[in-house]
């Protein structure tokens, strides 16, 4: 039986905790590394305890990092080295903040959103990719948003950060497999683009926006963290190698 390692950022979030529970139930994964901001320490522990009930054999490791810190890739490189082998990276960490029109935007706060959402994702990929290439195998799953495809006035910064993640995903999918000495590496890079999901982040939206979204998709409701986690888990464990560089929407058909 394989003894795999998965790194999950944003592990304290609604989607993050659902992802943790998915991997905790897979006996092939012996080590789960949970990563989130230091302010989420208590919630992370609570979330991991809930996950342990379904898989007591998992080894949990906690890391509290600010993904906006420009030196985080160095810390992650150290973590990756201690793991020795990283099979899966799931980047669920992200923040949302509505700034209003661009001309009224606080640029410092906007920069922070870009750093956490895009730069944090990039730094994580940068840290783990050498180990995946060394092993010849890896699965990276990033989190975008339908906002990257469906522009909303007042949501420019968040949408731009997610569009950048989609570009990163597509380009890295091409780079990651390259092997000058032989057959392409078995490394895939994909992203999941959720619609409005019933998490704490959705609480930032008005009831009017959420009701309009529910009316506008065939399912007639918000999505659940578990539904997104199910797709993430499949991309990391069950999807074929030939599926890479893709952005998979989980939006109840909102953009259909």
Structure tokens at 81: 């080295």
Distance CA 89, CA 98 (A): 28
What is the sign of the dihedral through the CA atoms of 14, 17, 21 and 23? positive
End-to-end CA distance of the chain: 40
Catalytic position from the list 46, 126, 137, 158: 158
- Cα separation values, 117 from 69, 114, 168, 207, Å: 12, 5, 12, 25
Q: What is the DSSP letter of 205?
A: S
What is the CB neighbour count within 10 angstroms for residue 150? 15
158 is catalytic: yes
Q: Where are the beta strands (DSSP E) in 185-227?
A: 186-194
Distance CA 247, CA 148 (A): 11
Distance CA 29, CA 88 (A): 10
Distance CA 17, CA 5 (A): 16
Distance CA 89, CA 7 (A): 5
Q: Tell me the catalytic residues.
A: 158
């Amino acid at each position: 039986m394989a003894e795999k390692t998965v790194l999950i950022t944003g592990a304290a979030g609604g989607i993050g905790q659902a992802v943790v529970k998915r991997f905790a139930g897979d006996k092939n994964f012996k080590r789960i590394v949970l990563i989130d901001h230091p302010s989420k320490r208590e919630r992370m522990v609570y979330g991991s305890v809930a996950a342990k009930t379904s898989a007591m054999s998992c080894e949990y490791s906690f890391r509290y990092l600010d993904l906006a810190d420009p030196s985080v890739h160095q810390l992650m490189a150290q973590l990756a080295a201690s793991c020795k082998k990283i099979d899966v990276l799931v980047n669920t960490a992200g923040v949302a903040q509505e700034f209003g029109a661009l001309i009224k935007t606080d640029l410092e706060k906007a920069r922070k959103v870009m750093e956490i959402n895009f730069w944090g994702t990039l730094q994580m990929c940068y840290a783990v990719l050498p180990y995946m290439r060394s092993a010849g195998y890896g699965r990276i799953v990033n989190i975008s948003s339908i906002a990257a495809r469906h522009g909303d006035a007042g949501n420019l910064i968040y949408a731009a950060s997610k569009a950048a993640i989609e570009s990163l995903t597509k380009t890295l999918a091409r780079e990651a497999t390259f092997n000058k000495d032989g057959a392409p590496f078995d490394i895939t890079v994909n992203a999941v683009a959720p619609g409005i999901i019933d998490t704490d982040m959705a609480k930032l939206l008005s009831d009017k926006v959420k009701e309009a979204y529910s009316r506008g998709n065939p399912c007639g409701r918000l999505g659940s963290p578990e539904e997104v986690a199910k797709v993430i888990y499949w991309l990391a464990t069950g999807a074929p190698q030939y599926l890479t560089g893709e952005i998979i929407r989980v939006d109840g058909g909102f953009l259909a």
